[in-house]
Amino acid sequence: MKELLAIVMAAVLVNNYVLAQFLGICPFLGVSKKLDQAAGMSVAVIFVMVLATAVTYPIQNFVLNKLGLGYLQTIVFILVIAALVQLVEIVLKKYIPSLHAALGVYLPLITTNCAVLGVCISNVDNYMGVTAFAGSFVQALFNALGSGLGFLLAMVLFSGVRSRVDKCKCPECFKGMPITLISAAIVSVSFMGFAGLVENLLG
Amino acid sequence: MDNPIVIAILVVGVIGLLCAVMLTIASKFMAVEVDERIPQVRECLPGANCGACGFAGCDGYAAALVEDPELSVSLCVPGGATAAASIGKVLGREAGDVAKQVAEVRCSGTCEATSVKMDYKGLESCAAAKLLFGGTGKCVYGCIGLGDCAQVCPVSAIHINGGLARVDASVCIGCGLCAKTCPNGVIAIRPADAHMVVDCNSHQKGAGTRKSCSAGCIGCHLCEKNCHTGAITVTDNLASIDYAKCDGCGKCIEVCKAGCLVALNITKAEVING
């Protein structure tokens, strides 16, 4: 239990996908203008990350590794994730239209999001083969959940920062994307303060 | 068969095929029936997503129109009569009359006519400035001029000119977002073919208005007395025009001492004849 908590905490704060590993920057900069959009996008990302890990991890273990085709990982994962997101969209549209209306715009956007692919690949790299399949599969799922929550945290924090920055007067040459990138860098630096937190707290 | 390339191709091919079959089956069995009239109605709407109809964008209005047969087809202000008529055609309903409407900033308080009472350095937002002693200008009813309306305008019809928001009536689609945003309620929606407008929003008594602005309505009742159609009424020290009654004779402008009445659609001949 403590170990799983450590995995989630590490994924949210220390190895935050956006702010520490710089994956998924395009939605981070594109959809962080408004808080409700940022939150909607993040919930969709959490959902897809967990689901994608749940499907790709067994595929890597039982298909690719068994046949010695580990090098096909990226192609197969992208294919599976894209199909999966489409399927989720169809199912949501049919059975939970309200959730589809809320996530609808963002689901196709994250079809081939690098953060989603990154989580799946790093799960395989970090957990596969260390322990028995069942144990490592659960760890991978929790890592995916933590990564999604980390994305949510980064998006919500940054949409707050951005709404403040937009209201401020800044030099003409910095207006728009330059000041956004600078603020993103400063938010990212602030997350370096979490380094070593999990090891000392729960280790 | 032992060739690793063949195995790789087969594996990826089979996985891709499985995904494709799964998606095909899913889209067949879980297809949601969309009323084919919704996209047709959506085509008739201008797509400005301004929300003037009271629904969440043009898609929302199109869906609501198809679902609710009682709903009026003429709620779209930007689309006007053409949109209403084409929607009516798609849905087989009568289209009512829609007059083109535009926004009007009811204030003449330019930098020359009025002045500021503070050196405001805060947020560039009328709503924020309004919280400080009722705004930056001497007149608390007038346009603050920091451009909250220009920001929400979906077609960029509003520009700040001389400390005053001005609407470009040829661009304005009459959605009314600016009127909802303005913290002073200066902006009103008027028919595009109105003859006269009162460009003042001050409810102060005449002397108070004079102190703060040289172009404000002082509530002298001269226009009301001289209007032969009875279109102008002065309530709470401010003249207002019933656009339906006004025939654009221009008499009110001749007698107005403050200069807050503005002629829009009258020709000189009309003034003389009236």
Annotate B141-161 with three-state secondary structure.
Answer: CCCCCCCHHHHHCCCCCEEEE
The domain in which residue B52 lies consists of: 37-91
- Chosen domain end from B91, B124, B156: B91
Report pLDDT digits (tens) over B76-132. Answer: 877 777 888 888 888 877 666 667 788 888 888 888 888 888 888 888 889 888 888
A86 vs B125: CB contact, 8 Å cut-off? Answer: no
Identify the band that residue A24 occupies on the pLDDT scale cut at 50, 70 and 90. Answer: confident
Q: Which of B4, B12, B22 sits opposite A83 (nearest CB)?
A: B22
> How would DSSP label each residue in chain A?
-HHHHHHHHIIIIIT-TTTTT--SHHHHHHS-SSHHHHHHHHHHHHHHHHHHHHHHHHIIIIIIHHHT-GGGHHHHHHHHHHHHHHHHHHHHHHH-HHHHHHHTTHHHHTTT-HHHHHHHHHHHHHHTTTS-HHHHHHHHHHHHHHHHHHHHHHHHHHHHHHHHHHHS---GGGTTHHHHHHHHHHHHHHHGGGTTHHHHHH-
A90 vs B27: CB contact, 8 Å cut-off? Answer: yes
B30 vs A93: CB contact, 8 Å cut-off? Answer: yes
- Does residue B115 sit within a domain? yes
Q: In what helix (H) or strand (E) does residue B85 lie, and over which residues does it extend?
A: helix B80-91
A97 to A100, A101, A131, A175, B92: CA distances (angstroms): 5, 6, 40, 39, 28
Q: Are residues B181 and B201 in the same domain?
A: no
- Does residue B4 sit within a domain? no
Distance CA B56, CA B38 (A): 15
Residues of A in contact with B16 (CB under 8 A): 79
- Give the three-class secondary structure for B170: coil
| Tens digits of pLDDT across chain B (274 residues) | 678 888 889 989 999 999 999 999 988 888 777 777 888 888 888 877 777 777 877 888 888 888 887 787 777 877 777 888 888 888 877 666 667 788 888 888 888 888 888 888 888 889 888 888 888 888 888 898 888 999 888 888 898 888 888 888 888 888 888 888 899 889 988 888 888 888 888 888 888 888 888 888 888 888 888 888 888 888 888 888 888 888 888 888 888 877 777 776 654 334 433 3
B4 vs A75: CB contact, 8 Å cut-off? Answer: no
Burial A179-188 (b: 16+ CB within 10 A, else e): bbeeebeebb
Residues of A in contact with B25 (CB under 8 A): none
Give the distance from residue A12's alpha carbon to the nearest chain B alpha carbon, in angstroms.
31
Burial A63-99 (b: 16+ CB within 10 A, else e): ebeeeebeebbeebbbbbbbbbbbbbbbebbeeeeee
- Chosen domain end from B162, B188, B214: B188
Distance CA A167, CA B244 (A): 42
Name, of A57-61, A100-104, A107-111, the range with top average pLDDT: A57-61
pLDDT, residue B1, reads 60
- Does residue B31 sit within a domain? no
Burial A23-46 (b: 16+ CB within 10 A, else e): bbeebbbebbeeeebbbbbbbbbb
- Give the three-class secondary structure for B187: strand
- Does residue B162 sit within a domain? yes
Q: In what helix (H) or strand (E) does residue B241 lie, and over which residues does it extend?
A: strand B238-241
Report pLDDT digits (tens) over A120-141. Answer: 999 998 888 777 888 899 999 9
- Does residue B11 sit within a domain? no
Identify the band that residue A146 occupies on the pLDDT scale cut at 50, 70 and 90. Answer: very high
Q: Are residues B69 and B118 in the same domain?
A: no
B15 touches chain A (CB under 8 A): yes
Domain ranges of chain A: 36-157
- Does residue B173 sit within a domain? yes
CATH code of residue B219: 3.30.70.20
Task: Indicate if the pLDDT at residue A105 is higher than 80.
Answer: no
Residue linked to tokens 């494709």: B20
Supply B74's token pair: 């003429």
Report the number of distinct structural domains present in chain B.
Answer: 3
Task: Indicate if the pLDDT at residue A156 is higher than 90.
Answer: yes
Task: Find which of A62, A71, A79, A98 to mutate to test the B interface (most B CBs within 10 Å of its CB).
Answer: A79
Distance CA B200, CA B183 (A): 15
Give the distance from residue B8's alpha carbon to the nearest chain A alpha carbon, in angstroms.
7
Q: Are residues B63 and B49 in the same domain?
A: yes
Average pLDDT over chain A, rounded to whole?
87
Q: Are residues B183 and B202 in the same domain?
A: no
pLDDT, residue B266, reads 52
Give the distance from residue A102's alpha carbon to the nearest chain B alpha carbon, in angstroms.
13
Residue linked to tokens 């994307």: A177
Q: Are residues B105 and B174 in the same domain?
A: yes
Q: Are residues B181 and B245 in the same domain?
A: no
Give the distance from residue B41's alpha carbon to the nearest chain A alpha carbon, in angstroms.
20
B78 to A63, B41, B46, B58, B158: CA distances (angstroms): 57, 15, 7, 11, 16
Supply B88's token pair: 């009516």
- Chosen domain end from B172, B188, B204: B188
Q: Which of B7, B16, B23 sits opposite A86 (nearest CB)?
A: B23
Residues of A in contact with B27 (CB under 8 A): 90
Q: Are residues B267 and B211 in the same domain?
A: yes
A101: closest chain B residue by CA:
B60
- Does residue B209 sit within a domain? yes
B14 touches chain A (CB under 8 A): no
Q: Are residues B141 and B65 in the same domain?
A: no
Q: Are residues B107 and B181 in the same domain?
A: yes
Q: Are residues B179 and B110 in the same domain?
A: yes
Range of weakest confidence among A89-103, A138-152, B176-190: A89-103
> How would DSSP label each residue in B87-145?
HHHHHT--------EEEEE-----TTTB-BSS---S-S-HHHHHHTTT-SBS-SSS---
- Does residue B3 sit within a domain? no
| Half-sphere exposure of residue B135: CA atoms within 13 angstroms, side-chain side | 22
Report pLDDT digits (tens) over B210-232. Answer: 888 888 888 888 888 888 888 88
Q: Are residues B220 and B204 in the same domain?
A: yes
